Amino acid sequence: MGSGTHGLTQYLASTKGITPDQFTPIAVGSGDTFIAAIKQGTIDAGMTTEPTISRLVKTGDAKVLIDLRTPETTRAALGGDYPFISIYMRADWVAQNKGVVQRVVNAYVKTLKWIQTHTPQEIADKLPADYYAGDKDLYLTALTGSMPMFSPDGKMPAGAPDFILKVLQTYNANVKGKTIDLTKTWTNEYVDAAK
């Protein structure tokens, strides 16, 4: 619990009038463990990522109720941009380890730029075979559809921090009803300096 998918599940439930006492979150992981949880009836619904989604849809074991795999479908479902994948670090650790932070961000930005200049086939060819669970064609289809989700530069989209806070305030007691100085919660400083 406490994962990004758990938080988004809570938010989406609240937007449909479903209260936290009306469902029970269960941590089931992703990939094969998520698929097993669906097939065995351990969970009735869940939120996961690709290629797990496409694997379940292909076998008919699940269907997509809310699609967050492209910027357009995410905006339609959530009402704004939601940069789901980010680098999270404690501010005090960042302040004490600026060189390490810069190297990590350099790697992420370099990877994002590499993704922008390569085809889904070229990307898949660099991944270990177990990543696409024996179905490379299915993975390629899923990746092709998801390519617009990858930031071309790693920068936080304008307005996204405000939107994320709005989402968090619907279910997270730590921020609900509180004023948060968002300028202290994120930075593009290291992305701007990436080499």
Task: Name residue 87's amino acid.
Answer: I
Position 2 pLDDT exceeds 60: no
User: Which domain CATH number covers 156?
Assistant: 3.40.190.10
pLDDT at 144: 93
Segment 75-117, tens digit of pLDDT:
999 988 888 778 889 999 999 999 999 999 999 999 999 999 9
Residue 1 has pLDDT above 60, yes or no: no
Q: Which two tokens stand for residue 53?
A: 């989604």
Task: Give the total residue count for the chain.
Answer: 195
pLDDT for 8 beyond 90: no
The predicted model gives 155-183 an average pLDDT of 89
Question: What does the pLDDT read at residue 71?
Answer: 87
Structural domain boundaries enclosing 144: 4-192
- Under the phi-then-psi rule, with left for phi > 0, alpha for psi from -120 to 50, and beta for the rest, what region is 30? beta
Q: For 37-90, how does the pLDDT look when each residue is reduced to its tens digit (9 = 90+)? A: 999 999 999 999 888 999 999 999 999 999 998 888 989 999 888 887 788 899
Number of separate domains in the chain: 1
Structure tokens at 15: 């937007």
Compute the half-sphere exposure of residue 2: CA atoms within 13 Å on the CB side of its CA: 2
Q: How far apart are CA 31 and CA 56, in angstroms?
A: 10
